């Protein structure tokens, strides 16, 4: 369902993107080319700051927002998902939040008030809260990373993780094409 927010903002969705009919995309959301938005995802930009202003939720080209993902923002703060990035099933991205290019966010992970550098990976059931993860950073499964975490204890992301991430992106781009073709059958 595509709908306006109380401020009157309507999502802007590139014609080449695929948004599942069970997903909810509300308000000041920009979805670029070849983005896949899976079943029951919720992308909602509807809160304003103390001045009545709101930044957009921006999902850049060739990224995928998988089943059950929630993307929202506190008080109109910006949320950006970079190019060729994957937000896996049931993750929560709550702004302010900036996810770089070629990033993989694993199942059930929660990100809030953070920046994740390009080519990084956050594995399943992890939390990243109130910090900046540099480029090529790796968060193992079931870890809690916060402003006081010593980031030097974590190794850089392994090439096999980056290869996996790229394969997920490519699979979802193929799904975009497949689902767009199916839409023409109805």
Q: What is the pLDDT of residue 165?
A: 87
Which has more confidence, 183 or 57? 57
Q: Residue 3 pLDDT more than 90?
A: yes
162 confidence band (pLDDT: 50, 70, 90): confident
Pairing outcome for strands 29-31 and 57-59: parallel
131 confidence band (pLDDT: 50, 70, 90): very high
Q: DSSP code of 153?
A: G
184 confidence band (pLDDT: 50, 70, 90): low
Provide the β-strand partners of residue 19: 37
Tell me the average pLDDT across 135-143: 96
Tell me the average pLDDT across 55-83: 97
Tell me the average pLDDT across 62-83: 97
Comparing CA positions, the residue from 57, 78, 61 lying closest to residue 69 is 57
Tell me the average pLDDT across 108-124: 97
Q: Residue 52 pLDDT more than 90?
A: yes
* pTM listed for this prediction: 0.95
Tell me the average pLDDT across 149-172: 90
Domains and CATH numbers, the chain: 2-183 (2.160.10.10)
64 confidence band (pLDDT: 50, 70, 90): very high
Q: Residue 161 pLDDT more than 90?
A: no
Share of the chain above pLDDT 70, in %: 98
The encoded tokens of residue 16 equal 């080449």
106 confidence band (pLDDT: 50, 70, 90): very high
Tell me the average pLDDT across 13-26: 97
Give, for 143, the enclosing helix (H) or strand (E): none
Radius of gyration, alpha carbons of the chain? 16
Q: What is the pLDDT of residue 159?
A: 87
From CA 142, how far away is CA 135, in angstroms rounded?
A: 20
174 confidence band (pLDDT: 50, 70, 90): very high
């Amino acid at each position: 369902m595509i709908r306006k927010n109380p401020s009157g903002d309507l999502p802007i969705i590139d014609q080449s993107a695929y948004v599942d009919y069970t997903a909810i995309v509300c308000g000041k959301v920009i979805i670029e080319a070849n983005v896949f938005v899976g079943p029951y995802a919720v992308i909602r930009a509807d809160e304003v700051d103390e001045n009545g202003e709101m930044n957009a939720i921006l999902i850049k080209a060739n990224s995928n927002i998988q089943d059950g993902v929630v993307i929202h923002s506190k008080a109109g703060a910006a949320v950006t998902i970079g190019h060729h990035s994957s937000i896996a099933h049931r993750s929560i991205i709550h702004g302010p939040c900036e996810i770089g290019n070629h990033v993989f966010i694993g199942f059930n992970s929660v990100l809030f008030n953070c920046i994740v550098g390009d080519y990084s990976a956050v594995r399943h059931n992890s939390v990243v809260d109130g910090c900046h993860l540099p480029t090529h950073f790796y968060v193992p499964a079931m870890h809690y990373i916060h402003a006081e975490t010593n980031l030097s204890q974590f190794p850089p992301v392994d090439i096999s993780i980056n290869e996996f991430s790229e394969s997920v992106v490519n699979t979802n781009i193929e799904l975009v094409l497949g689902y767009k073709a199916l839409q023409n059958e109805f």
